[in-house]
Amino acid sequence: MTMTASILDNARMAASQPAQTPQHAANVARAKAVGKQFESMFMSQMLNHMFTGIDQENGLFGGGHAESMFRPMLNDEYAKMITNRGNGIGLADQVTRAMLAHQEV
């Protein structure tokens, strides 16, 4: 196969694939952001349920009303850290793919 033939094959393959417009790229970026937000919210809820059974009176900060008020915020930050670390738990990717598939229909 000559170099000209491989260039023509690459050009044909590129022409057969749909071009990604700036609008499409923006939709993908928004879908990824929403997927990350959803995973973070899900993880926050799971962490809140996980910490409900833990004795907070003898904890690190001594429990009390202030700790019960700030615990959900701490769980939100834990959830964001889990989501943004590597691939998180993989839920964001699944949500992103589902949203993009639904848009293409």
Distance CA 93, CA 45 (A): 19
Alpha carbon distance 62, 49 (integer Å): 20
Q: Name the domain count of the chain.
A: 1
Of 27 and 54, the structure prediction assigns the larger pLDDT to 27
pLDDT band at 54 (very low <50, low <70, confident <90, very high): confident
Give a yes or no: residue 28 inside a domain.
yes
pLDDT digits over 88-100, tens only?
Answer: 898 999 999 998 8
Alpha helices in the chain (DSSP H): 3-16, 22-51, 64-84, 91-104
In a domain, 91, yes or no: yes
Residue 40 lies in a domain: yes
Q: 66 CB contacts (<8 Å, ≥6 apart)?
A: none
In a domain, 13, yes or no: no
- Cβ atoms of 47 and 79 within 8 Å: the answer is yes
- DSSP secondary structure code for residue 19 in this structure: P
Mean pLDDT along residues 56-65 = 67
